[in-house]
Homo-oligomer: A and B are copies of this chain.
Amino acid sequence: MKRNLHLQTVVLIGSGNVAGHLSKAMAAAGLTVAQVFSPHIEHARVLASEFSALFTDRYSQIIKDADLYLIAVPDGKISSVVVKLPPVAGIVCHTSGVTSMKILEKFDRSGVFYPFQTFTGNSNVDISKVPFCLEASSQEVMDTIRMLARKMSKSVHTMGIEQRKRLHLAGVLVNNFTNYLYAVADDFLEENGIDTSLLLPLILETAAKVQKLPPDDVQTGPARRGDESTIEKHLNMLNDNVELREIYYILSQQILKKYHA
């Protein structure tokens, strides 16, 4: 039987930020959001109301005839969701960077639909630029979910679990750790009575610069130019601040080693 590659209806399993952003993007790509499931019925209701969709907190009430079931729940909850989901003929995808597609093997047609971006409630992410990393249990499923992804984004990639896990790790570096550096810098300025908003244009420009040039080519700062005198002065300023001093020391040593070894 030749299936139609155009997905028409989707059921969201989950009602958090990923579910919220992807459901809106799928609706914009022409899909009908048919139902939202969440163990938190109120969350399901709120998200469903954006699409006049059904909503439920019971697995037994999940509709069986949707084309796509998108599991957008925290990584650690995927396996328990899978156990409770009824068998369905539609494609079942999870959205996790670190979870194998095998977790979905009880379904005939399954895949991974991993958006490599951070989603928060009130941030307007441009979905058309979000990289979608896809994996599928068959060529037919891949063709189908790729067609959907391409309607949503210009950046669509096929990727197995080993590469996906590594991409996720790189995301921890450029998102979680970078944000932690922002937080540490904020704290340091606050302790010294300096307006933390002074950092914002520099933060934005630092991120903007590498959109055009490789970070290796635009690395600057005391360690990059081998200015050990400034590094020492900075370390001395941080004598009361064990954590920040450790970060400063380790990163400066690594940059020195990279460019001046």
* Contact in complex: B219, A176 (CB < 8 Å): yes
- With A186-B215, A189-B170, A215-B186: A130-B201 Cβ-Cβ less than 8 Å: yes
The digit string for A198-210, where 1 denotes a CB below 8 A from any CB of B, is 1111111111111
Q: Are A123 and B203 in contact (CB under 8 A)?
A: no
A237 at interface by CB-CB < 8 Å: yes
Count of interface residues, chain A, beta-carbon cutoff 8 Å: 89
Q: Are A207 and B210 in contact (CB under 8 A)?
A: no
Q: Does A49 contact B (CB under 8 A)?
A: no
Q: How many copies does the complex hold?
A: 2
Instruction: Report yes or no: A189 in contact with B218, Cβ–Cβ below 8 A.
Output: no
- Provide the bound-state CA to CA distance between A40 and B174, in Å: 38
Residue A222 at the B interface, CB < 8 A? yes
CB contact between A174 and one of B202, B218, B246, B250 (< 8 Å): that residue: B202
CB distance from A217 to the nearest CB of B (A): 9
A212-237 contact mask (Cβ, 8 Å, vs B): 1 or 0: 11111011111110010010011001
Closest Cβ of chain B to A11, distance in Å, is 26
Choose one: B157, B183, B211; the contact of A198 (CB below 8 Å): B157
Asked if residues B199 and A170 are in contact (CB atoms below 8 Å), the reply is yes
Distance of A157 Cα from B199 Cα, bound (Å): 13
- Asked if A79 is an interface residue, CB under 8 A from chain B, the answer is no
| Contacts A166-B192, A170-B199, A210-B203 given; does A181 touch B183 at CB 8 Å | no
A210 with B198, Cβ < 8 A, contacts A192-B163, A218-B120, A223-B176 known: no
Assess whether A59 is interfacial by the CB under 8 Å rule.
no
